[in-house]
Structure 1
Amino acid sequence: MTARGRGVPGRSLGEPIAISGPSADWSRVRADLRRHGAVLLRARLPDWRPERAGGPGLRELLGQDLERYLELTHPQVRARFCASRLLLKHAAAAALDAPPESVELGYGLTGRPFVRGCDGVHISLSHTDDLLLVGLAAGGVIGVDAERGDRALYAPGLGRHMCTPYEAERIEALPAGERNRAVVRLWTLKEAYSKALGLGMLFPFTDFGFSPDAAPTDVLRPDGTPGTVGTWAFHTLSLDDGRYTVSVAVGDAGFGPTADTAAGTALDPGIVDAVVRALGNEEDAAGERG
C-alpha cells in the first residue's frame, strides 16, 4: 500500500485492516479509532457472500435491509449488496462493541448509510470488482471511494464534466501517460468528499477540486485557491500493486475523536440512572392505579 496525504490533528490514518470474514480479528478496529479517529477496512467479496457470511442468521443480520435484498433479481448485484451490508454491520458492531445483529442501518436522502440511534460513529461504504471498503470515523464524518486504477476516465471535455479549470489545466500539463491515473485519483477524492458531506452527485464535481499532481491537503476552489484549511484530512491509497485507487476524506466536527465508541458507555451513567429511576417510578405509579 502507498499512502499520501496530510491529516488534521487526530485524523491520521493507519494501514487498511484486511477483514477475511465475520470470524476475523476485529480488535484493531476500536484501537485504530482511538489512535487515529478513523479507520479503513478492506475485504473481498467472496469472503462476504451471503452463503458464507450470513448463514442461517442472514434475516436477522440484514434487518431492515432484508426487503431490499429480496427485491434484487440480478445474482451478482444481490450478492454484492448483501456482502457490503454484512461487512458494514460487523464493522460498526466492532466499533460499538455490540452484536452485529443489534446494529440497524439507515440511509440519508442521497443514500449515505448511518447507524440508527448512534451519532458517535460515522460510516461510509464503497466497492468495485471484488473489493469492499468500509470507513469508520469517531467524532467526525467520513467518506471512502475506490476505483480500478486503470479505469479510463481521461477524455476530451474534462472541464465540462468533472474537473475545475485549474484541474484541467494541471492535468494537461502532465505527461500523457500520467493523465488518466491523475483523473482517477481526482475522481475518488471527489467521491469521498461528497460522500462525507452526504451530498453524493448533488455536488457538481466542477465546483470543487484538488491538486492533480500533489498530495491532497485541502479542497480547492475552481481557480485553484484553498477552499478548506485544516478542517479536513484527505488520504489517497494505492492497493494491490496499483490495481485499485482509494481515497478517504475525514471531516473533524471540532471536538476531536471520540475516546470511547462502545454503545454500552455512550451515555453518561447519571443520565442512564435517571432514566431507569423515571421508568421505575412510572411502573410503580401504574401498579398503584391498577
Structure 2
Amino acid sequence: MWMDPPDTLILNEYEAHVWRADLALDKYSQTTFLQLLSPEELTRARKFRFEKDRRTFIIARGILRSLIGKYLKINPAAISFHYSRFGKPGILDNNCLRFNISHSENMVLCAFAKKFDIGVDVEFINPDIEVKDIAANFFSVNEIRNLIALPANQQTLGFFNCWTRKEAFIKAVGEGLSFPLDKFEVSLKPGEPAKLLSTDWEPNAVSKWSMYAMTPNENFVGSLAIESAVHEIKFWDYDIRPESVT
C-alpha cells in the first residue's frame, strides 16, 4: 500500500494522496523543520509542556509545510494558513488544495485532495482502554450495539475503526468538537469496508461522502473521509531525513 513517492507530485482532481511519516526514524529532524515554521507556530511549540509533544508538533507541521510546498511549488516557509471558526486550517489565497493532518504516538498522516473537503485520523491501538465505556459516551446506539456484538477479540479493533472514521469525518466537515459524534453512524466491523452509514441531519450525506480504511503500521489504525467518490488513493511514504525537506 505505502510506496516511495515520485520526484514530481501530481494530484489529479478525483484523486487523494495520503502520506505516512514515522517520527521515530530520525531524531535530528526537529532542527531542520523549525526553520519552516511561522512565528505563531513557534509560539505554539513553546507552550507544550513535554519535549516529546513539542517535537511531534514541530516535525508534523514541518512535514505538512514541506508537502504543501511541493504540491504548490512554493517555499514551505512562505505558506500562510487561515483557520475557520472551528479551527480547521486552510491555505491562505489558495482554495484548491485541501489537506488534513493527524498524529498519534510516533505516527503522522497527511492527506491531500483538490477542491473536496478531506479529513484523516490515525490512532495507536491501545489494548488497555475500556472501549465499551468510551463508546457508551460517544457512539450512536447502533454503533454501540454493533461493537458489543463483535467477538471479544475484535472489539478493540472495532472500536478504533469506529473512532478514527468518526474523527476523520468531523475533521473533513470542519466543525470540530462541536459536532455530535452520536448523530451519525459509520461501519466498524474488522474486515468490512469503511463507510458512512447514516446521519441525523441529511439523508443524502451518505452518497456525498466516501470513507477509506488504512493500516499505517502495526498497532495503528487510520481512516480517511472525503467529500467525493475519488477514483484513486495513493499512499506515499514520507522520507523525513533533513535533505528531503528542501
Give the TM-score of the pair, scaled to structure 2. Answer: 0.80
Distance 2:111 2:130 in 1: 24
Aligned counterpart in structure 1 of residue 82 of structure 2, from 100, 103, 106? 106
The aligned amino acid for 1:174 is L
Q: Determine the structure 2 residue equivalent to 1:217.
A: 195
Shift of 1:165: 1.2
Aligned-partner Cα distance in 2 for 1:26–1:54:
26
Q: CA deviation at 1:202?
A: 1.1
Number of corresponding residues:
226
Question: Secondary structure of 1:42's match?
Answer: strand
Of residues 236, 244, 247 in structure 1, which corresponds to 2:223? 247
Q: Deviation of residue 179 (structure 1)? A: 1.4
Shift of residue 205, structure 1, vs aligned partner: 1.1
Cα displacement string for residues 29-69 of structure 1 (whole angstroms, at most 9, x for unaligned residues): x33x22752110011224576x52543x834x112312222
1:108 Cα deviation after fit:
2.7
Residue 137 of structure 1: how far off its partner (Å): 1.0
Higher relative contact order (CA 8 A, sep 6+): 2
Alignment of 1:76-225 (within 5 A): 76-151=52-127, 152-156=129-133, 158-159=135-136, 161-213=137-189, 214-221=192-199
Letter in 1 for 2:149: A
Which residue of 39, 62, 72 corresponds with 2:17? 39
Rg larger for: 1
Q: Is the 8 A contact 2:29 2:59 kept in 1?
A: no
1:220 aligns to what SS in structure 2? strand
In 2, Cα distance between equivalents of 1:207 and 1:230: 17
Residue 8 of structure 1 aligns with which residue? none
The CA deviation at 1:228 is 2.3
- The question of 1:62 aligning with 2:29 is answered no
Whether the 8 Å contact between 1:219 and 1:228 is mirrored in structure 2 is no
Counterpart-to-counterpart distance in 2, 1:48 and 1:134: 18
Secondary structure of 1:93 counterpart = helix
For residues 162 and 34 of structure 2, the distance between their equivalents in structure 1, rounded to whole angstroms, comes to 37
- Give unmatched runs, 5+ long, in structure 2: 233-246
In 1, the alpha carbon distance for the partners of 2:94 and 2:24 equals 29
Letter in 1 for 2:209: W
Contact 1:40 1:135 in 2 (8 A): yes
Distance 1:91 1:47, change over 3 A: farther
Asked if structure 2 preserves the Cα contact closer than 8 Å seen for 1:236 and 1:246, the reply is yes
User: Match of 1:62, as an amino acid?
Assistant: L
SS in 2 for 1:168: helix
* CA-atom RMSD in angstroms: 2.8
Structure with greater proportional strand content: 2
1:52 to 29, 51, 54: 29
Unaligned runs of 5+ in 1: 1-14, 19-24, 258-290
Partner amino acid for 2:37?
A: L
SS in 1 for 2:82: strand
Cα distance in 1, alignment partners of residues 88 and 134 from structure 2: 29
Q: Once the two structures are aligned, what percentage of the paired residues are identical?
A: 23
Work out the CA distance in 1 between the residues paired with 2:77 and 2:207: 37
Compute the TM-score of the two structures, normalised by the length of structure 1.
0.69
Task: Quote how far apart the aligned CAs of 1:134 are.
Answer: 0.7
